[in-house]
Structure 1
Amino acid sequence: MGACPQSTLVLNPDELGPDPVLGMDLAVKLGIKRLEIRSAEGVNAIRLPDDRLGRIRTLAEEHGLTVAALASPLWKWCQPEACPGRVDTFGFPTQVPAGERLGWVQRAIESAALLGAPVVRIFSHLRVEPHLTEQLLDDPLLPKALEMAHGAGVRLLLENEPVCTVASVEPLLEILARYHGQGLGLWLDVANLHEVGQATPEVIRTLAPYVGYVHVKDYRLTREGAREFCPAGSGCVPYGDVLPLLHAVYPMLPYALETHVRDKPAEALTAGAVFLRSTVPGGLA
């Protein structure tokens, strides 16, 4: 009998800082072969010129690594007249005029091609003042973006993000049902789903057929009720229940470590890799 297919482990180099080589070195040390690119040298990846993106790909290849995904900031934006709260977009503006957005979509798809990334993350508009909050479901830019991505051999995956309009299962299912046939998939952040109280077996089973990529981070709640990020597997996110369910539907998913631990991130990523390899059935390549 042949070997069972394995899911894969992915590491984001910018968790260790602006120099991508540090994260690449850690990936090699941990036996991780795939990268997620979000920013480098302190600049959002889709704002980097072609030569610098090409250099990142070359560095990855020199380390024996490939790029699994471009974690773009597309749709994590609002109109210029809106007032977003504190939002982490890794060096990309949150207030983006409607006339500039198609250009950023094109740039993200170009950037993915330069990096060799098969998937690109998108969001669903920031939650701002109610009369200025936009909705992804009827955004005419989305079908254009899906068509462009398909033509480039790239797939767009929607992340469930609490600061954006699509974070819980009901709107996720509505938009995925409409656009899944055009190529849209789910970039599932389990911790974000847990934050909105929906990381349950029932919800995971419902969402699993749409999942193309999984973000893994963990946190504990402080006495004040704030989130304190910690290594995956050591917090309150129910990965022990969730990961086997996802694996049962898709045994070859990519699981990307997104620690957010600022103190000793390399140690947190190392611990997270050990946890995932012991928790995902069949292990991780």
Structure 2
Amino acid sequence: MQGNMVLNPDELGQDPAVGMDLAHALGVRHLEIRTAYNSNALTLDDARLREIRHLADERGLRVAALASPLWKWCRPEAAPGKVDSFGFPTQVPTEDRERWVHRALVVAGILGTDRVRVFSHLSVGEQTESFLDDPLLPYALKAAERAGIQLLLENEPVCTVAEPAPLLDVLREHTGLGLWLDLGNLYEVGHGTAQAVEELAPYVEYVHVKDYLPRNDGMKAFVAAGAGAVPYGELLPVLHRVRPGLPYALETHVRQSPGEALTRGAAFLRRTVPGGLA
């Protein structure tokens, strides 16, 4: 079964038409929406969201997923470190969170997707919240189910659930939750192995692909997928064997020549995922 390749237009800037045109040129028919017009998708008004949908429809593209920032937050009294939350606040009062869940479901509906990403609370020392026991999670899962949408948990290193064991605990406890597997993040936390991917694979509904080279200062130098340290040649065949037909969203985070990095990454994915990608 052949999977689909997905491209996020904001990798090329805040005018979504530019990234959509690259997707069309590369033969990529699916999009992931995170930010546009210098705003997080959750904070855009409905007219702007309909404009994004129209731009996609004009090019024969479909929105495969909403890369929302839900749960990439902490309470206002906590002090998060430097976190890329893509234009969304990282300190969110508990009483405001339910409203953001419902907004994400509305945004997904306007964009025409049935997948919404979530995270697992920012790690902020003693003030860190538990995602597994958060009462908002079962509430959100029920609301999403009513809307015909699935919430997918990304394994994010700055959040509380990033390694295989706690990921499996949450996914087994909350059966409506799927996994938005970021293979680069899995490698970053020391679990970029075939065994880890095989354990997680039954829960995977969506895949993020990005690559980097470790720098001497402990930071990451992002490169085109396949040109870095993440062992995709080992991991992608394992994932495909257990879960064929997945969407693979190509990230880059390469600041100079991101279009070139995405073009190279798309070619790499098509030749590395068994059976190729549409």
Q: What's the TM-score once normalised by structure 2's chain length?
A: 0.99
Residue of structure 1 in register with 2:8 after alignment: 12
Residue of structure 1 in register with 2:35 after alignment: 39
The answer to whether 1:56 aligns with 2:52 is: yes
Distance 2:131 2:110 in 1: 27
**Which one of the candidate residues 160, 164, 188 is aligned to 1:195?**
188
**Which one of the candidate residues 150, 154, 159 is aligned to 2:149?**
154
RMSD, matched Cα: 0.6
**Which one of the candidate residues 130, 153, 178 is aligned to 2:173?**
178
**Which one of the candidate residues 100, 110, 115 is aligned to 1:114?**
110
Q: What amino acid is the match of 1:73?
A: P
Q: How far 1:129 moved relative to its partner?
A: 2.5
The answer to whether 1:133 aligns with 2:103 is: no
Q: How far 1:199 moved relative to its partner?
A: 1.1
Q: What amino acid is the match of 1:179?
A: H
1:203-233 deviation line (CA, Å, top 9, x unaligned): 1110000000000000001233321100000
Q: How far 1:52 moved relative to its partner?
A: 0.7
Aligned ranges for residues 1-285 of structure 1 at < 5 Å?
5-130=1-126, 132-180=127-175, 183-285=176-278
**1:276 aligns to what SS in structure 2?**
helix
Q: What amino acid is the match of 2:46?
A: D
**1:242 aligns to what SS in structure 2?**
helix
Distance 1:226 1:147 in 2: 39
Structure 2 residues not aligned, in runs of 5+: none
1:98-124 deviation line (CA, Å, top 9, x unaligned): 000000000001100000011000000
Q: How far 1:188 moved relative to its partner?
A: 0.2
**1:214 aligns to what SS in structure 2?**
strand
Distance 1:144 1:194 in 2: 31
Q: How far 1:249 moved relative to its partner?
A: 1.3
Structure 1 residues not aligned, in runs of 5+: none
Q: What amino acid is the match of 1:266?
A: G
Structure 1 ranges of 4+ moved more than 4 A: none
Q: What amino acid is the match of 2:170?
A: I
Distance 1:145 1:112 in 2: 14
Identity of aligned residues (%): 63
Between the two proteins, the alignment pairs up a number of residues equal to 278
Q: How far 1:35 moved relative to its partner?
A: 0.1
Q: How far 1:34 moved relative to its partner?
A: 0.2
